[in-house]
Structure 1
């Protein structure tokens, strides 16, 4: 069960440096699981993140504890009926406490009402992520090879 969530705050370009630091820290675990230090979240530049946060189709939210950004998520509108969740990250020292579950659920509740499908993906070795996504109602829609592992694509109807 997710812990009570401090009200997420909107993140924007002013938060980019802190969000990028959190993202890199959180994705080290994924890189180890997949034996792939070249994961896109680890290679993303500050300039690329700034452009993403300035894109009107992107909504970013984060959770702060005592001023520190400890979790973040970005949601991109693909079209009127579809949104993609990306870069759901939790600080390594806060993982396993329900923050990811709570933030993902919160983000789903705050996409526009016209969105009927929410999509996301993760690596096949991310068993904790896959359990979370299945528990929240996401179902696998396909797999795409990515080197020595596959990316698992999932979707949820609202």
Structure 2
């Protein structure tokens, strides 16, 4: 009958599998196998973690021309002896340890060390997930997180900075020069989100400062990673010219404020009557890792629905792994590059595009559509305020 889908017979499933096709059950089994778990390690895991540690630090030893680094020569007895001092986490896939991190707390400071991920699984955000998990474990007792890494290990330094850590000290007392990084825990009530008024001087200054900082930050990574140098000044001027597009009823800019200081920005602007584009999502490095990005994103999603939009799109550089994880966890899905992307064609090989469906309020939907039919000059003094978030 039309509309009823017959079940695939077992012999057909076997035939499809022989041809290399994956049935739904096979795909689900594969997904289960690839699913990573993070949990507290026990003494039974010591051997596996130590072996992983030596694999993970091998390249570090080659980079430093020093194969006598402590993590490379540590014995099982030595590691076991210090293990009980720490809370140690392990990341596993199918029971195999592919990552680990450890920490202990003293005087409201959490000391984190030995973040390791198997080389075959690096670049997937596993290290960041381990860090966030260990921070969460100590969030009720620690007010500060501290760690150190090799000064020339820019990959690790970049990961930590993306999580909100800042360098506060350097030392040459170890086998290699190291840097110490720290992050203070933020309470949710310490940070507020406000709608930016593009005509208000204090907000104008904050917007300009944060957006320019965002462009320079992203361009620095782009140059180092891909050799692409964007025209920052032109991008900045284009953004300033577009500021009216980030006002009601077409768009919005939100600012994150912490104790009188603006520490983050994010907004959206109109693509068409039903679609908006997420733009300028940026949290200053020393405030990252406190779920501020998620708070800001959800705030903007709610605002977009209040404004009557049915879909939100975005473009993001491929190196922004943590941002991609945030978007995916909030319902975004990867799509092909769309016509309105900001990046020039020669740079589009290093961007991802995503979209998310929205559910606009019917009344707000009708109001917003009507507003967009009226010239901006007629609505500027209408007295209608943006939605309160």
Q: TM-score, normalised by structure 2?
A: 0.37
- The answer for unaligned runs of 5 or more in structure 1 is none
Tell me the residue number matched to 1:61. Answer: 89
Indicate the structure with greater helix content. Answer: 2
On the 8 A contact 1:119/1:154 being kept in 2, the answer is yes
Judged with a 3 Å threshold, the aligned counterparts in structure 2 of structure 1 residues 147 and 120 are, in CA distance, closer, same or farther, namely: closer
Q: CA deviation at 1:105?
A: 1.1
CA contact (8 A) 1:74 1:85 kept: yes
- Equivalent position to 2:130, from 103, 106, 110: 103
* 1:23 aligned residue: 53
Q: Note the aligned Cα RMSD (angstroms).
A: 1.6
* 2:91 alignment partner, SS class: strand
- The count of residues paired between Structure 1 and Structure 2 equals 151
Q: Distance in 2 between matches of 1:35 and 1:125?
A: 13
Structure 1 position 156 matched with structure 2 position 183: yes
Q: Which structure has the higher relative contact order (CA within 8 Å, separation 6+)?
A: 1
Match status 1:71 vs 2:99: yes
1:6 Cα deviation (Å)? 3.3
1:1-158 equivalences under 5 Å are 6-55=36-85, 58-77=86-105, 79-146=106-173, 149-158=176-185
Rounded to whole Å, the distance in 2 between the matches of 1:133 and 1:101 is 8
TM-score of the pair, normalised by structure 1: 0.89
In our comparison, the structure showing a higher alpha carbon Rg is: 2
Deviations 1:21-69 (CA, angstroms, capped at 9, x unpaired): 00000001211222221111112111111112223xx100101101110
Q: Distance in 2 between matches of 1:154 and 1:112?
A: 18
Secondary structure of the structure 1 residue equivalent to 2:77:
helix
1:147, distance to aligned residue in structure 2 (A):
6.7
| Structure 2 unpaired stretches of 5+ | 1-34, 186-389
> Which contiguous aligned blocks of 4+ residues in structure 1 show a shift greater than 2 angstroms?
146-149
Greater share of strand: 1
